Structure 1
Amino acid sequence: MTRTLCQSGTVLHALWRFVVLMVAGCALATALTANAAPSQERVTLQLKWRHQFQFAGYYAALFKGYYWDAGLDVDIREAQSGEDPIQQVLSGHAEYGVGTSDLLLLRQGGKPVVVLAAIFQHSPLTLLVRRESGIRSLPDLVGKRVMIEPNSAELFALLKRSGVDSDALKIASHTFTANDLIAGKLDAMSAYSTDEPFELKEAGVAYDLFEPRSAGIDFYGDNLFTTENEIRKHPDRVRAFREATLKGWAYAMQHQEEIIDLILTQYGERHSADHLRFEAKVMERLLQPTLVQPGYMHLARWQHIADTYASLGLLPASTSLEGFLYEDVANADSERNRRWLVITLAGLLIFAAIAGYVLRLNWRLHASRERQRVIVDAAPLALFVLSDENRIQDWNRAAETTFGWKSDDVRGRNMLDFVPPETERGALMSLLDDARRDKSSTRSGETWANTADGRRIRCEWRFAAMPSSDGRQSRLVAMAIDVTAQRELESRLQLMAHADPLTGLANRSLFYDRVERALSLAQRHTGHVALIYIDLDDFKRVNDTQGHEAGDIVLRTIAMRLRRLVRESDTVARIGGDEFVILLQEVGDREAAMAVANKAEEAICLPIEVRPAQFAHVGGSIGVSLSPQHGTDSEALLRSADAAMYRIKHGGKRGVACAS
Structure 2
Amino acid sequence: MEFLAIPSLVVVLALWVIHSLILNRRLIQSQKQYQQFFNDSPVALIVINQNYRIIEWNQTAEAIFGWESGEGLGENILDLIVPNFDKAHVTSMLQKAAAEGISYSKNYNITKHGSEIFCEWRNRRLAGGRGDILCMAQDITVSQKTLDELNKRSTALESAGDAIFYTDEKGLIEFANRSFFALALNDQHQLYGTHIGKYLFKERLAFNTILSAFDSDHTWRGTISKRSDTEEKILSVTITAIYHRNRLVSYVANLHDITKISSHLDVLNHRVQHDPLTGAVNRSAMNDRLRHAIARSQRSRQNLALFFIDLNDFKLVNDRYGHEAGDQLLKSVAKNLISCLRNSDTVCRYGGDEFIVVIEDVKSKEHLQTVRDTIHAAISEPILLDTTITLKARASIGMALYPENATDGDALIKAADMAMYEEKKERKLNEQEPILCVDNHSH
TM-score interval (norm. to shorter): 0.5 to 0.7
Letter matched to residue 172 of structure 2: R
Q: Does 1:445 align with 2:221?
A: yes
TM-superposed CA distance for 1:538, in Å, is 5.2
TM-superposed CA distance for 1:614, in Å, is 5.9
The answer to whether the 8 Å contact 2:398/2:417 transfers is no
Letter matched to residue 239 of structure 2: R
TM-superposed CA distance for 1:654, in Å, is 4.5
Letter matched to residue 242 of structure 2: A
The answer to whether the 8 Å contact 1:542/1:551 transfers is yes
The answer to whether the 8 Å contact 2:163/2:177 transfers is yes
Q: Does 1:617 align with 2:391?
A: yes
TM-superposed CA distance for 1:564, in Å, is 3.1
**2:163 maps to what in 1?**
382
Q: Does 1:463 align with 2:240?
A: yes
- Give SS of 1:504's match: coil
Deviations 1:336-370 (A, max 9, x none): xxxxxxxxxxxxxxxxxxxxx7xxxxxxx5xx6xx
Deviations 1:281-302 (A, max 9, x none): xxxxxxxxxxxxxxxxxxxxxx
Change (3 A) 1:569 1:4: farther
RMSD (Å), alpha carbons: 4.2
Question: Once superposed, which parts of structure 1, at least 4 consecutive aligned residues long, lie more than 6 Å away?
Answer: 432-435, 523-526
Letter matched to residue 200 of structure 2: P
Letter matched to residue 392 of structure 1: I
Distance (Å, rounded) in 2 between the aligned partners of 1:525 and 1:398: 48
Letter matched to residue 7 of structure 1: V
TM-superposed CA distance for 1:503, in Å, is 2.4
**2:114 maps to what in 1?**
none
Q: Does 1:397 align with 2:175?
A: no
Distance (Å, rounded) in 2 between the aligned partners of 1:397 and 1:504: 43
User: Which structure 2 residues correspond to residues 167-566 of structure 1 after superposition, within 5 A?
Assistant: 365=150, 373-404=154-185, 409=189, 412-414=192-194, 416=196, 419-422=199-202, 426-428=205-207, 441-453=217-229, 455-465=232-242, 474-515=249-290, 518=293, 528-537=303-312, 539-544=314-319, 546-566=321-341
Deviations 1:371-413 (A, max 9, x none): 6543311112112232234333322121122354798x45634
**2:412 maps to what in 1?**
634
Distance (Å, rounded) in 2 between the aligned partners of 1:557 and 1:589: 29
**1:608 maps to what in 2?**
383
Q: Does 1:599 align with 2:374?
A: yes
- Give SS of 1:500's match: coil
- Give SS of 1:617's match: strand
Letter matched to residue 9 of structure 1: Q
The more displaced of 593-602 and 515-524 is 515-524
TM-superposed CA distance for 1:557, in Å, is 2.3
Distance (Å, rounded) in 2 between the aligned partners of 1:473 and 1:462: 13
The answer to whether the 8 Å contact 1:505/1:572 transfers is yes
**1:577 maps to what in 2?**
352
Change (3 A) 1:427 1:555: same
**2:15 maps to what in 1?**
none
Q: Where do 5+ consecutive residues of structure 1 fail to align?
A: 14-356, 358-364, 656-660
**1:130 maps to what in 2?**
none
TM-superposed CA distance for 1:480, in Å, is 1.6
The answer to whether the 8 Å contact 2:197/2:206 transfers is no
- Give SS of 2:351's match: coil
* Bigger-Rg structure (1/2): 2
Change (3 A) 1:523 1:485: same
**1:223 maps to what in 2?**
none
Instruction: Considering Cα pairs closer than 8 Å and 6+ residues apart, tell me whether 1 or 2 has the greater RCO.
Output: 1
Change (3 A) 1:522 1:10: closer
Change (3 A) 1:374 1:429: farther
Question: How many residues are treated as equivalent by the alignment?
Answer: 293
- Give SS of 2:275's match: coil
Q: 2:362 aligns with which of 560, 578, 587?
A: 587
Q: Does 1:9 align with 2:144?
A: yes
The answer to whether the 8 Å contact 2:348/2:357 transfers is yes
**2:132 maps to what in 1?**
none
Letter matched to residue 555 of structure 1: L
Change (3 A) 1:405 1:539: same
Distance (Å, rounded) in 1 between the aligned partners of 2:405 and 2:153: 73
TM-superposed CA distance for 1:609, in Å, is 3.5
TM-superposed CA distance for 1:618, in Å, is 3.2
- Give SS of 1:505's match: coil
TM-score (norm: length of structure 2): 0.53
The answer to whether the 8 Å contact 1:403/1:450 transfers is no
The answer to whether the 8 Å contact 2:241/2:248 transfers is no
The answer to whether the 8 Å contact 2:173/2:196 transfers is no
TM-superposed CA distance for 1:519, in Å, is 5.3
Distance (Å, rounded) in 1 between the aligned partners of 2:286 and 2:251: 48
Distance (Å, rounded) in 2 between the aligned partners of 1:522 and 1:411: 46
Q: Does 1:647 align with 2:425?
A: yes
The answer to whether the 8 Å contact 2:165/2:254 transfers is yes
Distance (Å, rounded) in 1 between the aligned partners of 2:299 and 2:197: 47
Change (3 A) 1:415 1:555: farther
Q: Where do 5+ consecutive residues of structure 2 fail to align?
A: 1-118, 121-137, 436-443
Letter matched to residue 531 of structure 1: L
- Give SS of 1:448's match: strand
The answer to whether the 8 Å contact 2:163/2:255 transfers is yes
TM-superposed CA distance for 1:617, in Å, is 0.7
Higher strand share: 2
Distance (Å, rounded) in 2 between the aligned partners of 1:501 and 1:605: 23
Letter matched to residue 506 of structure 1: V
- Give SS of 1:639's match: helix
Change (3 A) 1:596 1:644: farther
Change (3 A) 1:545 1:398: farther
TM-score (norm: length of structure 1): 0.38
Distance (Å, rounded) in 2 between the aligned partners of 1:405 and 1:528: 47
Distance (Å, rounded) in 2 between the aligned partners of 1:616 and 1:500: 25
The more displaced of 374-383 and 545-554 is 545-554
- Give SS of 2:337's match: helix
Change (3 A) 1:419 1:501: farther
